[in-house]
Structure 1
Amino acid sequence: MRCLDTSLKLKPGAYVLDRSTHRIGRVERVELDPPRFAILVADAEGICDVAATANFEFLPSDDFRAMAAFEKERLGRLAQRDPAELVRLALVSAGGRLAFDEFKSQVTSADLLSESWNAWWAKTRPLLERSPFIVLSEDKKPDLVLRKTPVSYEAGLATRFEAASPATKFSIVLDYLADADKGHAADEALLARFLERMGQLSDALFAADPVTSLAALAMVEVVAKRTQASRLVTRATPKGVLELISHPSEVVRKFEDERVVMACANLLRESCADKWPGFCSGLLLAASVRLWDQVAVELIQEGYADQLQSTMATMLDRPERNPEALIWMWKTVAAGRLADVFRDVEPLRLALAVFKVAARLDGPGGQALCPSPRRMMTQIRNVLADDDHRHLRRVLAVLTVEQAQRVKDAVTGNEGIGGDVRETILDLLHTAHPRLFAEKLKPWQEDAIYTTEAGLLKRQKEFEKLVNVDMVENSKAIGRARAMGDLRENWEYKAAIEQGKMLGERASDMQRELSKAKVIRPATISGAEVTVGATVQAKDLATGRVETFTFLGPWDAEIEKGIYSYQAPMSKAFMGRRRGETFTFGERRFEVVEIARAAQLAGGT
């Protein structure tokens, strides 16, 4: 009977799932004598009889899997016209739940979108959040769940709101109002609930948590402007709550959602105008770059530029209090904004403060300065390097020798600003003030291998060939020799094994050398003495002939071109010599005539 029932449903165009193979097919035609069915599966047609249909599961015409296989154009139109419905169909076919990556894979592998996944998802997620049929988890990559019973967006939001923490409640309110600003009609009953709960929350936390109480009052003010509902009369007042908050920066640290912080500031501007400037200045001590942008502009517009300047001076005196403040100051000056406010900020002082805080972030106490010191160091490096270090170059171009020395001391060994920025600064200082680099470390004495970038790349390629070609071929040779039989008299096998040992030792040596490699930086060659990376003109005092020697790394050496490894005995005899100095090497006596940066390093950092 089941076979007969299934057979009766198998009309041309019907979709079926073969439970034995988990493959989806479409009925192409029905033959009556004998009863048989032509089923199309992945572009291949097969014939089955009535008995075979026992394994079939009949699928609806809007089954997502079937449409993805046979009606991609229809599904693609749905993805653009009604993406929430497409998601609903996918969930129905999947049994009601899909992980984010699983759903993404289904959509992208079926090639349904006329735009990128990220662009489509950015438009689709807000629609799903308002869908009565679908629930998203709170994650960045949310799970997608099909509701058993449809629930209106407002009803679902009210449930989430009631169960949420205070901070999440505030974000829910602000998100809902932001949606209303985009054209979604706000529900008066839900706004009234928000208004009531925020008032209750403010009173409940008035003494125990004044920061959250203030934020709840701010939400009351925000919602009250959007509804006709009556607000509660609360015993908590903005001024009363503010007196219980030890410092305004607590508000910033309490709430990740900066809209809540700004709502608190706006509340005080409207209800406690005399307290507002001081409150804003306090916020800035812990504010992000985005908050600095907003609060600073508002202080200036309201005539409190002096308050902003005082806060900036505090940040320069104690840059470790808030690294983001220095990033904002640097970006603002670099962009040429707020020139009047920054007229008394010395560019060098700001630069040194940025260097100082970057070094602190890179140290063991970096976590104490901010939750994510690495992210903060990346921001600092980016603003310093912005537009090919344009503002940094402006600052360094006008330094005196004493000021340049302060910068050199601040950046030497400073890993917080990053190697590229540091070397750019040292190069600029070297160009403007070469005397600062007269006393150098002796690189030829270090347990390191100095090389040009080209030499390093050459050695790396040799290592890669050794590991990926020579050693692989040796392994094959060992295998071929082993297959020849008795290993005791198998000289090919023994030779291959011996070669393998030699290759392994060579690979270990090369790997150890590469781990010690340092690229020669032009900033290290002052011309005051012979060093790694220098080209030297030296006179043979016996013949009077002037010869040219270039001292680079062992992987750069080309003796026929006059390029020597600085590790060679003759090269070591030159190292540290100054212009006019004479010395003996072997049976020859030389005088150093000229020292310059090697041409192979031109344009490098």
Structure 2
Amino acid sequence: MSDKIVERVSELLNQEKWTRATLNNYTVANFTELDELLDDVVKDDAAQEVLELCDEHLIHTKNSIIGLYVSGVVHLSRQTMDDSNLVSLIEIFTDNHKWNIVEYLCRRILEFGENRFALRTLADCYDNESQIEKKYDVWERLIRVDYDEADIVRHLAEKREEDGLIEEAVDYYKKALHRYINKRQFNSIKEVWHKLIQYAADETEFFYHAESRIAKTVSPERSVQLLEDLYPHFKGKNPNTSIDILKRVLEYDPKNPWARKEITECFQEKYGAHSQLDEYIRLSNLNQSWRNVHDAIADFEKHIAFDEGNFVYHRSWGVGIIRSIKGDQIVIDFARKRGHSMTLKMAVGALEILPKDHLWVLRSVWKKEKLREKIKKDIVWGLRTVIKSSDNAADMKKVKAELVPSILTAGEWSSWSTKARGILKTNSTFGVLPDKADHFVVRDQPITLGEKTHNKFKGAKSYFEKIRILEEFLEYMDSEIEAGTDSEFFREMVDYFVASIKSATTMNETVVAGYLLVSRIVEKHRYFDVGLELDFRTMYDQIDGVEAVFGAIDSTELKREFVHKLREHVEEWPQLYVRLFPHYLSRDIIGELERAGHHDRLVELFMRVYENYREYREAFVWLARNVIDDRWFSRLNIGYEKILIAMIHLLDLTFRDIDNRRDVSQNRKINRQIHNFLFKDNTIRQYLSQADEDGINRVYTLVRDVKELDPSIKIELKQQIMNEHPGFHFYGETDEIESVSRGGFMVTLASYQEKQRALKHLHEVDVPQNSKEIGEAAALGDLKENAEYKAAKERQDLLNSSAARMQDELDKATIIRPEDLDATAVSFGTKVTLRGPNDESEHYTVLGPWESDPEHRVISYLSPLGHELLNAKVGQRLEFTINERKYEFDVERIEPVEL
């Protein structure tokens, strides 16, 4: 069937060449007929043959209308982004003013995705046909894909302005301003700037951001010029904003006499009612040109803050309120030091001025319960208050330090902070510092998510942190309408990665990650022109040491994309999957190898990890937990016991590394996974239930030798073995009870369990209760003189010491069971009858220090008397001295006691 389609196309091409059909004979109907033919080409899977036929034909007849059209559509249908043939075709019909055909061809291209050339040509087409509304609609689409286009954005803004849609006009003017800044076209920048002053002057945050970009891309002098144009709008109306603008001018031009004079007048307007205004202007030399303007402003603002009724903070006396100012003397009422007097000079250096809505002030004047409830119910208010109280810059650690435990408990903080993080991420009231992405600020004007993300992006320190921020924004774009790919902030973030790829000299992990990220964006938004040849195979061939580079990519999602592209573009992908698996623990690799029938590679993968399990710890644990039940696993020539032994060995290794403070976080994670696999999932128990005696001994001995493992687990496993195999002989345990290791001691199971319960109560009840008391005592303040706090801290030290001692004793204890007892001689767990010189019988039960009860004649084998009786046999005469007292006994009877 495909042969017939190819033959039909060939006939059409030849017919066109023989008849030499002129352009004037072509109509839209001709192209709709070709589209029907192309549908058949796709159905019959003949696209490649038809494409080769057309390309060959175009070599000899470069202006073949049919050849250009069929080849162009086939290329686009394959998502190759090669639109050159259709572009040539459109130019041919444009030159001949066949606008209806031009429109059809442009629309045909746009069926495969947005295209700048097609949109621009379609807009020109509508302009020639005087279809103005349609032209504007196309322009709307064009500016979303052409980030360099600024004039059309401005035309759209002017159209919205003419139609009275001022809010929409402002959005377009803002976008135009950003694009003119990128183009460094200052005249256009200035014109749009004045338009925005006319309609949105109060959006100072936007002007400040734009002004800072202009200073970098054009010049600081131009920024000063624009700020001077913005200033008159606020002069005499808003002294705070006027001062902010003038400060920015002085940052660029500290010797600007106009700005210095204006800022002095603004301060006089703002603080006109202040009793010390003139004096503080004089002291700071604010209006004296010889003094550094920034020092003068800082000096003035520090002094002017001191006025009656204002709150202050002293690091020793806490929050206070200024009661009066007379001359150079200030009188302040602190909570514990009322009527305190100090000089102005001393106050400026020793006190911090607090606004009335500062958190410390609220803690002083509000009842604790009122403040607690307000912060719990109104999280936005709580965040705003804490951040503003921290010089308008705080991370979550700072927020927690201010709220816990003085206002919120640790438990309340857990749920409160989760909600707070979500609010900080999406609420337009909060932004981030440009140089510290984890520090939040309170904005005077709302901020878009695009701008917030951009600020966070700029503040991110690492390359992969920037990747994660952009990926978050891409997720938001997929679910929201606002701030899509036409966002100037989005383009700037993408350009950062494009620039890093272009400037790279070696193909390291950051370049590969940037390539994968940019490729994903371009594949999804095919109109996105980044000026790069994004060919995976070419990039892959430049990687030196693929394992090391892949392992260093700090993004699971990008690793997944890399693995998938290997499968598509690299023939030796199965071998690479085996090598890369330890760096990407996922079913993706296992599943793909299994589906492709590469069971030999799966075996190779497992054995490679198993034979190097000390190096590939996490990979081995993942395999042990996830693939043992897979069908291909049965092909392995490896016993289940070997896997268990390796896991137990890793358990011991991770315990040791944790003790040695080596990669603690990672080792704790692996240790927890192994522990759950072996004991929580009952893997060891199930194995012991079905293994032979040698296997049981091998596995149990390894478990027993893991020093840091909970002793109760060892006891339970040993008990299971003894229950299932009565009389079982354990490696390393002799028949002599006295073989207890040096420094250890013997106990009964009941005593051991009682001690475990006591330790558990200490950890789960006593210590948490005392920690709560410490928090409550700390909330009372002034820890140096806080008796409750000191007492609670002392008790905490005592509890920790007791817990450590009890744990040490448990580690040293050896449990003696009934089957361990030997009544042929006096030993642990025996009752001995002695006859003295007066022919009187005495009875003693010999146990350990935990069971000792002298009043009831239960003695420890470690006591002086117990030590003298140990190993004595029936009929033996004993003579010994304790504390200068002589004893003489005959051993009459020895019998085991019930343990």
**Normalised by the shorter chain, which TM-score bucket?**
0.5 to 0.7
The reply to whether residue 340 of structure 1 matches residue 631 of structure 2 is: yes
Deviation at 1:122, TM superposition (A): 1.9
Question: Is residue 527 from structure 1 mapped to residue 820 from structure 2 by the alignment?
Answer: yes
Q: Is the 8 Å Cα contact of residues 529 and 576 (structure 1) preserved in structure 2?
A: no
Compared with structure 1, are the counterparts of its residues 247 and 185 closer, same or farther at alpha carbon in structure 2 (3 Å cutoff)?
Answer: farther
Aligned-partner residue type, residue 650 of structure 2: V
RMSD over aligned Cα, in angstroms? 5.5
Letter in 2 for 1:314: R
- Residue 241 of structure 1 and its aligned partner are, at CA, apart by 3.7
Q: Among 438, 449, 453, which residue is 1:153 paired with?
A: 449
Partner Cα distance (1:2, 1:328) in 2 = 72
Question: Conserved in 2, the CA contact under 8 Å of 1:203 and 1:235?
Answer: no
The 5 Å alignment of 1:460-475 reads: none
- Answer whether contact 1:72 1:112 (CA < 8 A) is retained: no
Change (3 A) 1:104 1:517: closer
Residues 117 and 459 of structure 1: CA distance in aligned 2, closer, same or farther (over 3 Å)? closer
**Does 2:607 correspond to 1:350?**
no
Q: 2:514 is matched with which residue? A: 216
Max radius of gyration: which structure? 2
Q: Distance in 2 between matches of 1:270 and 1:255?
A: 20
Q: Per-residue deviation at 1:225?
A: 4.1
CA distance 1:403–1:73, shift in 2 (3 Å): same
State whether structure 2 residue 472 is matched by structure 1 residue 175: yes
Give the structure-2-normalised TM-score: 0.45
Q: Deviations over 1:548-583 (max 9, x none)?
A: 975432241235656431224665577679xxx867
* Post-superposition offset of 1:261: 2.2
For 1:267 and 1:160, locate their aligned partners in 2 and report how far apart those are by CA, in whole Å.
30
Q: Retained in 2: the 8 A contact 1:238–1:271?
A: yes
For 1:315, give the aligned amino acid: V
The CA deviation string for residues 459-508 of structure 1, in whole angstroms up to 9 with x for no partner, is 99xxxxxxxxxxxxxxxxxxxxxxxxxxxxxxxxxxxxxxxxxxxxxxxx
* Cα separation, 1, equivalents of 2:738 and 2:865: 17
Offset of 1:354 from its aligned partner? Answer: 0.9
Code of the residue aligned with 1:168 in structure 2: it is E
Residue 525 and residue 445 in structure 1: after superposition, are their counterparts in 2 closer, same or farther (change >3 A)?
A: farther
- The match for 1:447 is 743
Q: CA offsets per residue over residues 228-276 of structure 1, 9 Å max, x none?
A: 432446456433443454555424541343333223223333443x444
Contact 2:430–2:441 (Cα < 8 Å) also in 1: yes
Cα deviation for residue 188 of structure 1 reads 0.5
Structure 1 unaligned segments of length 5 or more: list them: 5-15, 25-41, 43-55, 461-509, 542-546, 600-605
Please, which of 326, 337, 341 is the counterpart of residue 620 of structure 2? Answer: 326
Q: Match of 2:611, as an amino acid?
A: D
Give unpaired runs (5+ residues) of structure 2: 1-271, 276-307, 314-318, 322-334, 336-352, 760-801, 836-841, 879-888
- The aligned counterpart of 1:558 is 853
Q: Which has the higher helix share?
A: 2
Q: 1:553 to 1:58 in 2, by over 3 A?
A: closer
2:631 corresponds to which letter in structure 1?
D
State the partner residue of 2:876. 584
Secondary structure at the aligned position of 1:224 is classed as helix
Whole-Å separation in 1 of the counterparts to 2:650 and 2:870: 37
Q: Deviations over 1:403-455 (max 9, x none)?
A: 12322442343235454444444444454552125416735673344443478
Aligned AA for 1:340? R
CA shift in 2, pair 1:540/1:332, >3 Å:
farther
**Is this contact kept in 1: 2:513–2:558, CA < 8 A?**
yes
Identity level (%): 13
Q: Given the superposition, is the C-alpha separation of residues 564 and 188 from structure 1 closer, same or farther in structure 2, using an over 3 Å criterion?
A: same
**Structure 1 residues 136 and 305 mapped into 2: Cα distance closer, same or farther (>3 Å)?**
farther
**Aligned residue number for residue 147 of structure 2:** none
User: Cα distance 1:92–1:573, how it changes in 2: closer, same or farther (>3 A)?
Assistant: closer
Structure 1 residue identity aligned to 2:414? N
1:413 aligns with 2:708: no
Corresponding letter in the other structure for 1:588: D
Instruction: Pick 1 or 2: higher relative contact order, CA cutoff 8 A, min separation 6.
Output: 1
C-alpha displacement of 1:356? 1.5
Helix, strand or coil for the counterpart of 1:285? helix
Note if contact 1:285-1:321 (Cα within 8 Å) is conserved in structure 2: no
Scaled by the length of structure 1, the TM-score of the pair is 0.63
Q: State which of 387, 391, 399 in structure 1 corresponds to 2:683.
A: 391
* Match among 111, 114, 117 for residue 413 of structure 2: 117
Mapped partners of 1:315, 1:576: distance in 2: 53
Which AA in structure 2 matches 1:126?
G
Alpha carbons of structure 1 residues 342 and 538: separation in structure 2 relative to 1, 3 Å:
farther
The residue matched to 2:876 in structure 1 has which SS?
A: strand
Give the count of matched residue pairs.
493
Structure 1 pair 417–556 and aligned structure 2 pair: CA distance change class (3 A): closer
* Equivalent residues of 1:251, 1:283 under 8 A apart: no
- Residue type at the aligned position of 1:403: G
CA contact (8 A) 2:450 2:473 kept: no
